[in-house]
């Protein structure tokens, strides 16, 4: 069925085999003759100008909007939007949208339509979808909001004397301290301290409620000793029992455990990882509130602002926002909100001291921990009311609580994974070192006849050698001393004189000339000696370059590496680069082998070009071509080579030996950065592209090994330091008691960035498994215990949809009203009509590269950043080619920024669109500011112009808010607290990214409403969400995930005034039902450390990927009806 708006009408016909061939009006007479024909598939229907009935109901029953976009089925629409669609859209606007779409061949075809979905949804908890989400979020958040609200009241004074006894001790004013099994209160401010020398296990903790103080002391501290730390695997009994007795286990959750409780701390995820009950399979009712995350929400900083605060030098103009924010540590946050300092010197005892030293200073360290608790409470008092004011929707708080309960189940395969990765790493590292040592030995032979002087890589190394050290021996008296005797092996009293012994006796005497300090490898060049270890007392020592590795500065030279065919070279001030010759005059230098360089590399024959000749007219013409002044002068500097060099190297105005340009290697962060190691992971892909190459097979092998080692080398320490807690067998079901099962609590900062995205250094940055990366199967080592599954999905094009729907709503209040909106909703990769394919085709780059640049642009990156990405993707592009492609891309997508002059100035200036620099020059000539003479600028002519206009409109408000949950921007970035537009790109990025955080919070709230306590949140990273689900509920959870996406997107559309939802984004493309935390359920995760894959190596079967229709069928098999009573 089809729900129709008031703006258009539909006629229904009883004939099944006919459709409209023309639109008839009420003026048609009853006696008129009408011919109705069956459709002719070979005939193309003519274009129709009449809008009435343009996209009416077809025989298939699909619902379309006025632009031909397929919408929700009638069955779903009536349940989600019971109020109908009262949106009024001007017909001229619709006609203009259609014209724009048709010009770009963006026409929806019924062949691309999806099968309608008909399912009975749970009844909305309100009269519309907006009220529904508010009510269910309030129901989830209200108990915890009340607890925190009560906790911000007064607390008792901290104890003056602390009792040294293991476990919990309660302190109340006027009462004797008593030992308690755990704090009985429902709201606590909590802090844990850990002796780093004793591992990651908790040493002591303090907590405070409105009525009492509590202290927990570990048995290890009472004893004053600890076992040596051999690994970071622990058992439950060394953790803090916050809500259970020692006899309780995770098999049964008591009423007290199930009751809503709240724990507040600064960076509370660190403290949560020390609590015993949080590792149980069944979760309790305790939630965690992080004051550090609240601070980031209220006053988070950009990286630039953080650098300014850390620096001693800053300008007065940078001072305007400093009163609204600070760094994230408790010391800085306490100083910001309370205006007081916090003592932190005692902290060194936990960082550098031993358990016995901490015990000796027991009163001091307990007071220190209690002071942190008091400071956290004072910060909470100031901060929480401000947070409630700036983040009014309960879904924000509820979602943050849910993310703070992240949980990763593991089993014995975790230990095997670490061991296998270490073994594979060590084996390949040894192989790589053997190859490098062989290359060093070969290069050492260049010292013969000074052959190194003709080598393009080794000519500048230290070829001086160390001779054997000798000492002077005093002359001996001839009369009194006998000639020295050579060693003898005589076995008789008298022997015959040996002429050979007498002849070589002086040679034996030369040992007296040797110095007691032996010279390491005399006769070898100094660069080689630096790679060798000194002789040891052991018998296994052999001379050789044992210290060599891919991180050493000489390694690229030993491998004869080139960039675009030019030999690599290193300068201390410029980092790594390469040499480009500009002269063939061999008399210029006597060090660099110029003759060999010219034979190998092309010569830039015209060096003496000087700077380019330009004047004001030249500068004006450049401005007219939409190049900023910064870009122009940057290009002037790079044109020193007169355009003769067209590669990707960065010209840095440096010459080597008066015969070569030194070109810096391109750094991923820009030309101002130096490359420290061309064998780092950022450059390894360039080897496969033949941009970075070696002259020998050894180079190829070493770079292949380096690529394999890169992931484990960079992540090894973080992975091996994960705190794994193994569960006691008595707390596990019978089917799990034969093997080892445990959990990792990732230390997630719920709002770790300015955009309120969660952050965590290991799990939220984990890549997918790659065949050439040791240890990259990390995510798959999170494995559900028997009887459980891991269910989750990737939100399809989350930020892209958010950005496009904002543009559609602003432009015409209609889904798919802009080219970006249409491509997001109806474009397909197979037909090359999606956003990334269209951009790639127009600009002439690959779809993958276009995808990266498209997202960067939506996040607020400018044209300069796009140029840099293009150069990274294809280093053979010249700067001019990269700029041309970037300009074309931005004109196609973002469009052009124009200004319209205000009414008061139209008598003197034409009322036409002005470019940025034109408007600036006019305002400058009139002595006015840009805002005084011109209206706010607009983007026009691009597929994304409407979207960027909407984003900038939100970002430029005095108090920017997210469009979905009305969350405020950090006070440090609000326009009313900053006098210029320095932070506009950051605010634009914030609108999209923080909108995506709203989306995530809404999803978590909806999933909790649907599944209640049948699922447990595992982890969310970027656009992925995963849950731990009992096996009997896995298909119910999969269907609930689909419905969660449907309701969340419907809410977002409703908030923008779009009372409908396109079918293409209503459900996930697939929900993964699996037993491990891999991205795709059928990914076998074959890596060098897991060569047999998950199926053969770990006996992990493939999971299932279920679309909405499959999920419905599977849920029916479980006799499940998705209906919440």
Radius of gyration of the chain (CA): 36
The separation between CA 348 and the C-alpha centre of its own chain, rounded to angstroms, equals: 32
Phi-psi region of 610 (alpha: psi -120 to 50; beta: other; left: phi over 0): left
For residues 133 and 398, give the distance between their C-alpha atoms in angstroms, rounded to a whole number.
11
> 751 with 400: CB under 8 angstroms?
yes
> DSSP letters along 926-992, please?
TT--HHHHBPPPEEESSTTHHHHHHHHHHHTSSS-B-TTT-PBPPTTT-GGG-SSSTTHHHHHHHHH
> 1073 with 789: CB under 8 angstroms?
yes
Phi-psi region of 544 (alpha: psi -120 to 50; beta: other; left: phi over 0): left
> 1081 with 1034: CB under 8 angstroms?
no
Question: Which ranges in 120-239 belong to alpha helices (H)?
Answer: 129-151, 219-223
For residues 116 and 804, give the distance between their C-alpha atoms in angstroms, rounded to a whole number.
23
For residue 461, what are the contacts with CB-CB under 8 A and spacing of at least 6? 452, 525, 527, 554, 557
Tokens 């605060």 correspond to what residue? 309
SS3 292: helix
Neighbours of 1011 (CB within 10 A): 20
Phi-psi region of 726 (alpha: psi -120 to 50; beta: other; left: phi over 0): beta
Structure tokens at 879: 């700067």
Options 42, 118, 173, 191, the catalytic residue: 191
Question: Which ranges in 109-204 belong to alpha helices (H)?
Answer: 129-151
Neighbours of 525 (CB within 10 A): 20
> 1005 with 398: CB under 8 angstroms?
yes
For residues 17 and 696, give the distance between their C-alpha atoms in angstroms, rounded to a whole number.
72
Say whether 191 is catalytic: yes
For residues 999 and 1021, give the distance between their C-alpha atoms in angstroms, rounded to a whole number.
13
Tokens 């770009």 correspond to what residue? 104
For residues 103 and 99, give the distance between their C-alpha atoms in angstroms, rounded to a whole number.
6
For residue 506, what are the contacts with CB-CB under 8 A and spacing of at least 6? none
The separation between CA 736 and the C-alpha centre of its own chain, rounded to angstroms, equals: 35
SS3 693: strand
For residue 580, what are the contacts with CB-CB under 8 A and spacing of at least 6? 566, 601, 604, 641, 645, 649, 660, 661, 662, 663
> 1059 with 63: CB under 8 angstroms?
no
Structure tokens at 570: 């290193």
Structure tokens at 162: 């602390």
For residue 296, what are the contacts with CB-CB under 8 A and spacing of at least 6? 328, 749, 751, 752, 753, 754, 756, 970
Neighbours of 562 (CB within 10 A): 22
Going across the sheet that includes 1071-1074, the strands are 1016-1021, 1024-1030, 788-794, 1071-1074, 1104-1106
For residues 169 and 599, give the distance between their C-alpha atoms in angstroms, rounded to a whole number.
81
The separation between CA 1055 and the C-alpha centre of its own chain, rounded to angstroms, equals: 28
For residues 960 and 1046, give the distance between their C-alpha atoms in angstroms, rounded to a whole number.
27
For residues 348 and 421, give the distance between their C-alpha atoms in angstroms, rounded to a whole number.
34
Q: Provide the annotated active-site residues.
A: 191
């Amino acid at each position: 069925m089809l729900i129709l708006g008031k703006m258009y009408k539909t006629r229904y016909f009883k004939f099944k085999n006919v459709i409209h061939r023309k639109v008839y009006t009420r003026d048609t007479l009853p006696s008129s003759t009408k011919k109705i024909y069956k459709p002719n598939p070979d005939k193309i229907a003519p274009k129709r100008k009449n809008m009435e009935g343009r996209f009416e109901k077809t025989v298939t029953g699909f619902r379309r909007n006025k632009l031909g976009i397929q919408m929700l089925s009638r069955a779903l629409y009536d349940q989600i939007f019971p109020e109908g669609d009262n949106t009024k859209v001007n017909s001229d606007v619709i006609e203009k949208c259609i014209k724009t779409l048709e010009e770009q061949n963006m026409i929806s075809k019924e062949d691309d339509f999806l099968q309608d979905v008909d399912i009975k949804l749970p009844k909305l908890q309100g009269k519309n979808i907006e009220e529904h989400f508010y009510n269910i979020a309030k129901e989830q958040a209200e108990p915890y909001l009340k607890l925190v609200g009560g906790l911000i009241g007064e607390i008792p004074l901290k104890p003056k004397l602390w009792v040294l006894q293991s476990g919990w001790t309660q302190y109340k004013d006027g009462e004797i301290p008593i030992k308690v099994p755990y704090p009985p209160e429902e709201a606590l401010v909590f802090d844990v301290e850990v002796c780093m020398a004793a591992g990651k296990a908790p040493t002591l903790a303090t907590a405070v409620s409105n009525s009492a103080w509590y202290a927990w002391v570990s048995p290890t501290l009472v004893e004053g000793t600890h076992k040596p730390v051999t690994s970071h695997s622990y058992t439950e009994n060394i953790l803090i029992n916050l809500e259970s007795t020692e006899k309780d286990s995770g098999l049964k959750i008591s009423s007290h455990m199930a009751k809503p409780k709240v724990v507040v701390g600064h960076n509370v995820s660190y403290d949560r990882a020390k609590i015993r009950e949080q590792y149980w399979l069944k979760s309790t009712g305790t939630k965690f509130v992080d004051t550090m995350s609240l601070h980031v929400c209220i006053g988070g900083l950009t990286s630039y602002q953080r650098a300014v605060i850390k620096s001693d030098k800053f300008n007065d103009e940078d001072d305007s926002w400093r009163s609204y924010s600070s760094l994230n540590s408790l010391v800085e946050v306490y100083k910001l909100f309370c205006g007081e300092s916090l003592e932190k010197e005692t902290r060194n005892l936990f960082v550098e001291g031993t358990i016995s030293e901490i015990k000796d200073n027991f009163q001091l360290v307990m007071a220190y921990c209690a002071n942190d608790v008091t400071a956290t409470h004072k910060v909470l008092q100031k901060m929480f009311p401000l947070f409630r004011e700036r983040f009014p929707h309960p879904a924000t708080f509820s979602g943050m609580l849910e993310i703070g309960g992240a949980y990763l189940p593991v089993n014995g395969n975790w230990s095997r994974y670490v061991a296998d990765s270490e073994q594979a790493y060590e084996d390949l590292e040894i192989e790589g070192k053997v190859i490098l040592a062989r290359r060093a030995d070969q290069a050492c032979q260049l010292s013969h006849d000074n052959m190194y002087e003709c080598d393009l890589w080794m000519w500048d190394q230290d070829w001086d050698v160390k001779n054997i050290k000798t000492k002077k021996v005093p002359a001996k008296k001839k009369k009194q001393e006998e000639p020295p005797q050579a060693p003898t092996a005589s076995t008789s009293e008298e022997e015959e004189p040996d002429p050979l012994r007498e002849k070589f006796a002086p040679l034996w005497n030369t040992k007296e000339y040797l110095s007691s300090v032996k010279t390491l490898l005399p006769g070898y060049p100094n660069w080689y000696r630096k790679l060798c270890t000194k002789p040891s007392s052991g018998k296994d020592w052999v001379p050789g370059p044992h210290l060599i590795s891919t991180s050493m500065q000489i390694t690229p030279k030993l491998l004869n590496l080139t960039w675009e065919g030019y030999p690599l070279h290193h300068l201390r001030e410029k980092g790594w680069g390469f040499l480009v010759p500009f002269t063939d005059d061999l008399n210029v230098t006597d060090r660099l082998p110029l003759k060999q360089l010219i034979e190998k590399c092309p010569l830039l024959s015209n060096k003496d070009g000087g700077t380019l000749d330009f004047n004001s007219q030249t500068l004006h013409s450049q401005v007219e071509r939409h190049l900023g002044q910064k870009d122009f002068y940057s290009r002037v500097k790079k044109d020193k080579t007169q355009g003769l060099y067209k590669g990707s190297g960065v010209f840095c105005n440096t010459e080597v030996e008066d015969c070569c340009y030194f070109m810096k290697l391109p750094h991923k962060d820009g030309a101002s950065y130096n490359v420290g190691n061309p064998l780092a992971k950022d450059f390894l892909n360039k080897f496969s592209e033949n941009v970075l190459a070696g002259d020998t097979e050894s180079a190829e092998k070493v770079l292949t090994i380096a690529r394999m080692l890169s992931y484990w080398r960079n992540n090894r320490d973080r992975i091996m330091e994960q705190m794994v807690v193994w569960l006691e067998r008595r707390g596990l079901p019978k089917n799990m008691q034969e093997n080892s099962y445990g959990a990792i609590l990732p230390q997630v900062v719920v709002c770790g960035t300015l955009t309120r995205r969660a952050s965590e250094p290991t799990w939220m940055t984990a890549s997918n498994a790659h065949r050439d990366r040791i240890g990259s199967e990390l995510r798959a080592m999170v494995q559900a215990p028997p009887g459980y599954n891991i269910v989750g999905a990737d939100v399809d094009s989350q930020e892209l949809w958010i950005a496009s729907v904002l543009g559609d709503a602003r432009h015409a209040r209609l889904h798919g009203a802009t080219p970006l909106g249409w491509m997001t909703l109806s474009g397909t990769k197979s037909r090359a009509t999606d956003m990334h394919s269209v951009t790639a085709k127009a600009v002439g780059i690959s779809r993958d590269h276009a995808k990266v640049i498209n997202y960067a642009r939506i996040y607020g990156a400018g044209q300069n950043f796009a140029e840099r990405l293009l150069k990274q993707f294809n280093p053979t592009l010249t700067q001019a080619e990269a700029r041309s492609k970037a300009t074309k891309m931005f004109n196609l997508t973002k469009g052009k920024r124009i200004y319209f002059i205000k009414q008061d100035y139209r008598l003197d200036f034409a009322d036409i669109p002005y470019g940025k620099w034109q408007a600036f020059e006019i305002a400058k000539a009139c002595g006015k500011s840009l805002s005084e003479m011109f209206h706010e600028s607009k983007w026009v002519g691009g597929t994304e112009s409407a979207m960027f206009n909407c984003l900038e409109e939100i970002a430029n408000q005095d108090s920017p808010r997210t469009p979905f949950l009305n969350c405020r921007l950090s006070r440090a970035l609000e326009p009313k607290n900053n006098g210029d537009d320095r932070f506009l790109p950051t605010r634009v990025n914030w609108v999209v990214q923080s909108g995506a955080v709203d989306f995530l919070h809404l999803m978590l709230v909806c999933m909790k409403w649907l599944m209640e306590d049948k699922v447990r949140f595992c982890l969310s990273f970027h656009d992925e969400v995963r849950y731990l689900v009992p096996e009997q509920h896995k298909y119910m959870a999969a269907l609930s995930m689909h419905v969660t996406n449907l309701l969340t997107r419907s809410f977002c559309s409703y908030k923008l005034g779009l009372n409908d939802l396109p079918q293409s984004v209503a459900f996930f493309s697939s929900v993964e039902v699996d037993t491990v935390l891999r991205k795709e359920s059928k990914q076998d995760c074959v890596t060098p450390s897991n060569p047999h894959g998950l199926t053969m190596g770990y006996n992990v079967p493939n999971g299932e990927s279920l679309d909405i229709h499959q999920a419905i069928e599977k849920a029916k098999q479980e006799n499940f009806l998705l209906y919440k009573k």
